[in-house]
Chain A
Amino acid sequence: MTPTHLLDTQDWSVADVTALFNTADVMAQVMERTIKKVPALQGFTVGTLFFEPSTRTRLSFERAARAQSADVVSFAAGSSSLSKGESLKDTLRTVDAMQADLYVVRHAVSGVPHQLARWTDARIVNAGDGRRAHPTQALLDAYTFQKNFSGFDGFAGKKLAIVGDVLHSRVARSNAELWTKLGAQVTLCGPRTLLPPELEQPNVTLTTNIREAAEGAHAVMALRLQGERMQAGLLPSLAEYRVRFGVTEQVMAHAHPDALVMHPGPINRDVEISGALADSEGSVIEAQVANGVSVRMAVLYMLLVGRK
């Protein structure tokens, strides 16, 4: 049984994830055709509820829905009548009157997808909640690794290094959850102010030393650094961050020879990742975006129709 929602990957078994990746393979083939559309979700309505602006993720989901012939209704908090003070529940009630079968939800505060799931019969896909989870990003990252790592033979024994603002990163939390579930080791790296010690757990290690993080890693993922972290007293300067935590060719020299360079986007070139490295052969940053559509197609399909 496929889980009802995708709030995070906690209640998704390895078998569920494997089935999802197999479905994504089929979807990837669809996206290689001249006519990039199948009728798989005809008659279904997908609602995108973006309480926090995000063009890239919303586009990816809408593409994934339309490529399967689903109808899409979009609700963006900024452009709607959502006023401060309206309860989340009232907002959902309004939107729910449009009878969508599945909502893709993004919100700046953790837990909102869980709250919505309590109040609607529709399926919920979390497209990012606060610092907590961004499960489709983690799924597409793992899928990209599986597809692109030379001679991939499973996640066991593999090491993923995630470097940057771990404290505020739902991408880091979701990847740590998913990759360890699949059998990999994850190392989280960043300045101590952005690296909460509580995130350490079995198969997840923390370090403030980027060379140690990259050592033997099969994939190195740089996280976007938000400019406002300096004002919040979390970092002294961008220059110091770049020197100590920028992912560069020198850092990658410590990694596995076939290591992949990843980034969830959007990139601050030459801040958290060197521009040359982002464009290098080992970089799968563009593949991540393309795979994002296939993986999200598979997520929508599995939740609305069921496992293939």
Chain B
Amino acid sequence: MRVIIQNAHLRDGRGDHGAHDLYLQDGVIEGVNLGGKVDETFDAAGRLVTPAFIDLHAHLREPGQEQKEDLASGLAAAAAGGFGTVVSMANTTPPVDDPGVVASLIHKAERLGFARLRPAATLSRGLKGQELTDFAALKDAGAVMITDDGVPVADGHLMRRACEYALDHGLVIQTHSEDPGLRQNGVINEGVVSQRLGLPGNPVAAEAAMIYRDCEIAAMTGARVHIAHVSSKRGMQVVEFFRAQGAPITCEVTPHHLTLTDAVLETFDPIHKVAPPLRTAEDIAFLRDAVRRGVVDSIGTDHAPHTRAEKDRDMVAAPFGIGNIEVTFPLLYTELVEGDGLPLETLLHLLQAGPARVMSWSVPTFEPGQPADLVVLDLEAERAVQPETFKSKAKFSPWEGLSLKGWPMLTFVRGCVAYMSG
């Protein structure tokens, strides 16, 4: 199978290469301007062609919660968002704590032909926060990350032992850092808005204190700890404090924490309910600044789909989570690059080389022999977010109707079309 993408304006981690004809053969990059016979031809005139994005944080809900999402819908949605690789979270039913489940997820995903699946496994057996899972066997089965994401690891001792144990297996520990005692039953950021709306608040201190604990453990053990979804200024300041000391910490921010404040909850629509909660304009400004200053390593979507019925419950009963993987790039391109002066290369870095480095994977480029995972982006045409067209099963969005630029037109995974617009 040989494919040509004509007039491709190429841009990868090494820089901007201008317009060329890009050839893909048998799942890898063959080279540029080679000529010769091809099986399929695509034209990318006027579009940007760049390595497919990497998401280290998505909830694909399989096994057991297929009413919300499954591998087919979730990985198709990822491809539609320009992602070629997804690390799926393990807080499923049952949780992914068994090597056999890891292997079967990978096997199933490979037959689908959408984005690549690289599953995370839980840190604790049954996600119960008591005993460690079999890290070595899980890794052998294909798990790339250890995390109880969705549930904070309350027991500091367990987190310490997980970090120590992970060292010998080269596994990244991702933390959902929120102190359960401080968080209590909070459903929204604690502050002016929560007090006005009379909803139980989740204070910034719950996140900042737990990030501090997890960073201390990383510093003590030397384990590779990736702090998921840092949502607050104070939480990010803790990360910076430890990074300045050279602790082995990396961190992630999400599209929603970079663009939405707690004020959206004034509508009392639980589609905005997420953990950690949406914070304030001051937090957003600080997170964006941290992105600019290179403190942030990756943008993880924390794509967390639920059914509409689950989100049509009251603000306390409705589950936490926002589906966003299909709007992540257009949203951040429009709001941060076009709207807030962030260099495009920084945004691309946080979706490509940034997450690859977090995982110690090779940085994606268009060098011959590299995997032919790439996305064709239209940075010009504006289109409104239309949740009914989502590949994800969660066909609703906090950004419904918002006009955005930067839509993925075409996504290749392993040299084959994983998504085509329209």
**Residues of A within 8 Å of B, CB-based: how many?**
22
Given the interface pairs A173-B198, A198-B195, the reply to whether A88 lies near B312 with Cβ below 8 Å is yes
B198 CB, min distance to chain A CBs, angstroms: 3
Which of A108, A110, A112, A198 has most chain B Cβ within 10 Å? A110
Q: Which residue of B lies closest to A166 (CB)?
A: B195
Contact call A115/B268, Cβ cutoff below 8 A? yes
Contact call A114/B198, Cβ cutoff below 8 A? no
Q: Does B381 contact A (CB under 8 A)?
A: no
Q: Which residue of B lies closest to A170 (CB)?
A: B198
Q: Which chain B residues lie closer than 8 Å to A133 at the CB level? A: 198
Q: Which chain B residues lie closer than 8 Å to A170 at the CB level? A: 198
Residues of chain A in range 93-139 having any CB-CB distance to chain B below 8 Å: 107-112, 114-115, 129-133
Q: Per-residue CB proximity of B351-394 to A under 8 Å, as 1/0?
A: 00000000000000000000000000000000000000000000
Interface residues of chain B, those whose CB is within 8 Å of chain A, are: 191-192, 194-199, 267-269, 309-310, 312-317
Contact call A109/B312, Cβ cutoff below 8 A? no
User: How far is A90 from B195 in the complex, measured between Cα atoms in Å?
Assistant: 29
User: How far is A132 from B192 in the complex, measured between Cα atoms in Å?
Assistant: 13
Q: Does A230 contact B (CB under 8 A)?
A: no
Q: Does A196 contact B (CB under 8 A)?
A: yes
User: How far is A109 from B317 in the complex, measured between Cα atoms in Å?
Assistant: 9
Q: Which chain A residues lie closer than 8 Å to B269 at the CB level? A: 115
Main secondary structure of the interface of A (DSSP, over half): mixed
Residue in B196, B267, B312, B313 whose CB lies within 8 Å of A114: B267
Given the interface pairs A89-B309, A114-B268, A198-B191, the reply to whether A132 lies near B197 with Cβ below 8 Å is yes
Interface residues of chain A, those whose CB is within 8 Å of chain B, are: 87-90, 107-112, 114-115, 129-133, 170, 173, 196, 198-199
Given the interface pairs A88-B314, A89-B309, A89-B312, the reply to whether A111 lies near B195 with Cβ below 8 Å is no
Contact call B268/A196, Cβ cutoff below 8 A? no
Contact call A90/B317, Cβ cutoff below 8 A? no
B191 CB, min distance to chain A CBs, angstroms: 6
Residue in B191, B309, B310, B315 whose CB lies within 8 Å of A111: B315
User: How far is A110 from B316 in the complex, measured between Cα atoms in Å?
Assistant: 9
Q: Which chain A residues lie closer than 8 Å to B316 at the CB level? A: 108-109
Q: Ordered nearest first, which 5 A-B pairs have the shortest CB separation? A: A111-B268, A132-B198, A131-B198, A198-B195, A109-B314
Q: Which chain B residues lie closer than 8 Å to A130 at the CB level? A: 198-199
Contact call B315/A110, Cβ cutoff below 8 A? yes
B319 CB, min distance to chain A CBs, angstroms: 11
Q: Which chain B residues lie closer than 8 Å to A198 at the CB level? A: 191-192, 194-196
Q: Which residue of A lies closest to B317 (CB)?
A: A109
Q: Which residue of B lies closest to A133 (CB)?
A: B198
Q: Which chain B residues lie closer than 8 Å to A110 at the CB level? A: 197-199, 268, 315
Contact call B313/A87, Cβ cutoff below 8 A? yes
User: How far is A89 from B312 in the complex, measured between Cα atoms in Å?
Assistant: 6
Contact call B310/A87, Cβ cutoff below 8 A? yes
Q: Which residue of B lies closest to A173 (CB)?
A: B198
